[in-house]
Amino acid sequence: MEQKQFKAESKRLLDMMIHSIYTHKEIFLRELISNASDAIDKLYFKSLTDDKVGLAKDDFAIWISADKDSRTLKITDNGIGMTAEELENNLGTIANSGSLKFKTENKLDEDNQIIGQFGVGFYSAFMVAKKVTVITKAYGSDVAYRWESEGVDGYTISEDDKASVGTEIILELLDDTDDEKYGEFLDTYRLKGLITKYSDYIRFPIKMEVTHSRPVEQSEEDKEAGKSPEFEEYIEIETLNSMVPLWKKSKSELKEEDYKHFYTEKFYDYNEPLKYSHVVNEGVPSYNALLYIPSKAPYDFYSKEFEKGLQLYSNGVLIMDKCADLLPDYFCFVKGLVDSEDLSLNISREMLQHDRQLKVIAKSIEKTVSSELKKMLKNDRENYEKFWNEFGVQLKFGVYSGYGMNKDKLQDLLLFTSSQGKLVTLDEYVTAMPEDQKFIYYATGESVARIEQLPQTELVKDKGFEILYLTDNVDEFALKMLMNYKEKEFKNVSSDDLGIENTEKQEEVKAKEEENADMLKSMADFLGESVSKVVLSKRLKSHPVCISSEGEITLEMEKVLNSMPGDQKVKAQRVLEINPDHEIFGKLTAVSSDSEKLGKYAKLLYTQALLIEGMPVENPVEFSNLICELM
């Protein structure tokens, strides 16, 4: 029999296929079952108008059988089959287009137009098999054919005596190696697992003969004698797939429990989801989706191991377990799946991410998640706050990242702890602002308790203005990105001009500052690099000192940026503020002529301010000695 060669390009593609396109060898089964299902689809469709097919819907099935002795796995369908010509065209040429332009494997990855021309799922069988045999009889044909191949070397086609219409694919599995145990694909349990994982929702039953054992009925005598029963084996035909996916059922058929149960089973979460949404989109591309917001962040959520993504199905067949491109990073907490009939299945189903349709679906999913969150915020505040506590930081990152390109979409989903002791949205904050309040005030620190004690908050609080307490590292960066909300600018309570200082007081402080300019200057000199200047404070009421910053980088940003890996450290320009109404000011002016003492006081006050701010003390030993000395 003549051995035919695969076309030259096919050879390379096959080689690539086996070694690099798919990352998981186990997907060969999904590919072969999908092909079988497609073939059945075609014949089933014919049977609707053609009595000669002679099969009813329930007769159609895919059969799996494994034989450990011969190390063979068989996938059989009673679908449309292939003629000799089809065998040649479909399985003899991997890439049957003459206009092949691809040059490198990478090129394949980029150029979706080219990839779209190939159907190569069948060849994934060679990832696990040393020999593949296809015995097939096409509907309407009298002759059956046998196609055999041991991989890149080529294939043979000969006649066969298969009686019924359909296709049988026989894989002779590769020998086990230290790393790869191909024999596992003969194991009933493993096969069942793969079918539930990848092909559960194939519309036709996937059947397998499964051997069980049961105790043999005992005679009364044996029972009385207490003999242990003997066991016999029996064979049962099991259907391994559930066939109708939940997301394809009509919403009216389904109850809340169905969705929740599905979630806990499918996504291995003990906790019920906080919210779910069943999307049926009949537009183009059409798709169904089930989306869930978990009630708890997974244990690895804030680690590098966490992978975002939704399961992606094409017409009920699982294509990808975590399709990252379906979710923007700021919605990475969403779990669920998408099923569409309109995705172009191409060279590798794992390369789908470059698909244009997929991008359209991703956009539409993003909109759904966003509007579900808005609804929850409006109608179910308690659950929204739970959600916020688990995942809110992601949304703040979303505002900040990409140079703020998503800030408009996300700003109304943000919550902040406020000085009123509750979580507020920016809209709630602005709506509650008294008429004479110009800014949205915020204060930063490592905890709410810590911020509450900051001297800088005094003046704003005294005016009765609400303050947003920012405790997450990303917070201030996110606000900087927002710049303003409903035309109200954000203002750090530590910043220079809070817009509420009364002018009389300002004049008074200014006059005092001029009077004591020399003293303040020499204090700043003593502190050297540590501060950019020493001033008299317009904001402090009861506290003696505080530290504020001037310029772009605030103290909080300095803390955050310097805690990140990397050698480049930043430094905020610190300003030491002294309360001119505090006793301490009198003490300072009294010693102002004693430059040594003034220097010591300056250092003491500066360190005190650092402590209040929660910043590290630059020289703890010197500080401790100074205190003892002055006592």
Nearer to ligand ADP, 36 or 478 (CB): 36
Nearer to ligand ADP, 36 or 612 (CB): 36
CB count within 10 Å of CB 162 equals 17
Q: What is the DSSP code string of 562-594?
A: HHSSSS-----EEEEEE-TTSHHHHHHHHHTT-
Query: Please, what is the minimum distance in Å from the beta carbon of residue 41 to ligand ADP?
Result: 10
Size of the site for ligand ADP (CB under 6 A): 17
Nearer to ligand ADP, 85 or 159 (CB): 85
> Contacts with ligand ADP in 6-65 (CB under 6 A)?
31, 35-36, 39
Type of residue at 627: I
- DSSP, collapsed to helix, strand or coil, labels residue 63 as strand
Q: Which of 408, 481, 476, 483 is nearest to 439 (CA)?
A: 483
Nearer to ligand ADP, 4 or 450 (CB): 4
Nearest residue to ligand ADP, using CB?
A: 119
Site string for ligand ADP, 87-126 (x = CB under 6 A): ---xx---------------------------xxxx----
Site string for ligand ADP, 119-158 (x = CB under 6 A): xxxx------------------------------------
Rounded CA-CA distance 623/607 in Å is 7
- DSSP, collapsed to helix, strand or coil, labels residue 434 as coil
- Under 8 Å between Cβ of 135 and 145: yes
Nearer to ligand ADP, 94 or 373 (CB): 94
Query: Please, what is the minimum distance in Å from the beta carbon of residue 557 to ligand ADP?
Result: 53
Rounded CA-CA distance 78/36 in Å is 8
Nearer to ligand ADP, 96 or 370 (CB): 96
Nearer to ligand ADP, 82 or 290 (CB): 82
Question: Is residue 82 part of the contact set for ligand ADP (CB under 6 A)?
Answer: yes
Nearer to ligand ADP, 129 or 527 (CB): 129
CB count within 10 Å of CB 545 equals 23
Nearer to ligand ADP, 310 or 317 (CB): 317
Nearer to ligand ADP, 40 or 468 (CB): 40
Q: Which stretch binds ligand ADP (CB under 6 A): 64-72, 76-84, 231-239, 425-433?
A: 76-84
Query: Please, what is the minimum distance in Å from the beta carbon of residue 393 to ligand ADP?
Result: 42
The 8-class DSSP code of residue 160 comes to E
Query: Please, what is the minimum distance in Å from the beta carbon of residue 261 to ligand ADP?
Result: 33
Query: Please, what is the minimum distance in Å from the beta carbon of residue 79 to ligand ADP?
Result: 5
Site string for ligand ADP, 292-331 (x = CB under 6 A): ----------------------------------------
CB count within 10 Å of CB 413 equals 22
The 8-class DSSP code of residue 439 comes to S
Rounded CA-CA distance 498/579 in Å is 16
> Contacts with ligand ADP in 332-371 (CB under 6 A)?
345
Q: Which stretch binds ligand ADP (CB under 6 A): 75-83, 316-324, 475-483, 623-631?
A: 75-83
Rounded CA-CA distance 340/312 in Å is 8
Member of 77, 390, 476, 556 binding ligand ADP (CB under 6 A): 77
**How remote is the C-alpha of 333 from its chain's centroid?**
6
Q: Which of 179, 168, 240, 182 is nearest to 209 (CA)?
A: 240
Nearer to ligand ADP, 79 or 328 (CB): 79
Rounded CA-CA distance 504/142 in Å is 106
Strand partners, 135: 146, 168
Rounded CA-CA distance 215/234 in Å is 11
| Secondary structure in 3-state letters for 331-364 | HCCCEEEEEECCCCCCCCHHHHHHCHHHHHHHHH
- Under 8 Å between Cβ of 627 and 605: no
CB count within 10 Å of CB 490 equals 19
Query: Please, what is the minimum distance in Å from the beta carbon of residue 121 to ligand ADP?
Result: 3
Residues in touch with ligand ADP (CB under 6 A): 31, 35-36, 39, 77, 79-82, 90-91, 119-122, 167, 345
